Amino acid sequence: MTRPLSFPYLALSAVAGLTFGAGLYISGMVNPLKVLRFLDFTAIPSGGWDPSLAFVMVPAVVVMFIAVRIGRRREKPLFASRFHEPEFTRIDAPLVLGSAIFGIGWGMSGICPGPAISLLAFWPQDLLIYLLALFVGSYGGSVIIPSGRDKRLAVAH
């Protein structure tokens, strides 16, 4: 039985959110221009390329990798009944197409969903337009592939 409304569960969600938000600011990834300067590989020959994003990703993945290893030795997480690990493993068209479409959106602005939310702390012009559009796009995706996650999970079994 999951207890998604229990105090420790929600408190941990809050602490994790605070930590994530602080990480996005300190790393500089909250700044779309800094992200774009990583994605701009044409700046490599001139020495103007900013590799910072890679220095964010690697330690983040390493820490999470250790957590996943620890989790594999445990039956369930501390405050919930199970690990919500995606079980669907097939490389399918929605995965590749969706990731490509996301890549276009990301490259156009340097904004991905995490920084988009955390930018609310600074309220820059046009952010609300982005967030509204993010919501609309996400809803559109769920309409085109209705409850796709559940159906494809069922296929995986």
Partner 1 sequence: MDTFTPLPATIGGLLIGLSAAMLWLGNGRIAGISGIFGQLLPPARTVAWRLVFLVALVAGTFAAASLFPALGNRPASLVGAPAWFAPGTAIWVGLSGILTGFGTKIGNGCTSGHGVCGLARLSKRSFVAVGVFFVVAILTVTLTGIV
What is the C-alpha to C-alpha distance for residues 98 and 100, in angstroms, rounded to an integer? 5
Asked if 144 interacts with partner 1 (CB under 8 A), we say yes
**What does the chain come to in residues?**
157
The greatest distance separating any two alpha carbons of the chain, rounded to the nearest whole angstrom, comes to 57
Asked if 60 interacts with partner 1 (CB under 8 A), we say yes
Total number of residues binding partner 1 (CB under 8 A)? 122
Residues 20 to 49 in contact with partner 1, rule: CB under 8 A: 20-34, 36-37, 39-43
Residue from 45, 52, 151, 155 touching partner 1 (CB under 8 A): that is 52
Asked if 155 interacts with partner 1 (CB under 8 A), we say no
Residue pointed to by tokens 């982005």: 130
Residues 81 to 110 in contact with partner 1, rule: CB under 8 A: 81-86, 88-91, 94-110
Q: Determine contact, residues 22/6, Cβ cutoff 8 Å.
A: no
Question: In the complex, what is the shortest distance from the CB of residue 154 to partner 1, in angstroms, rounded to a whole number?
Answer: 15
Q: Determine contact, residues 32/110, Cβ cutoff 8 Å.
A: yes
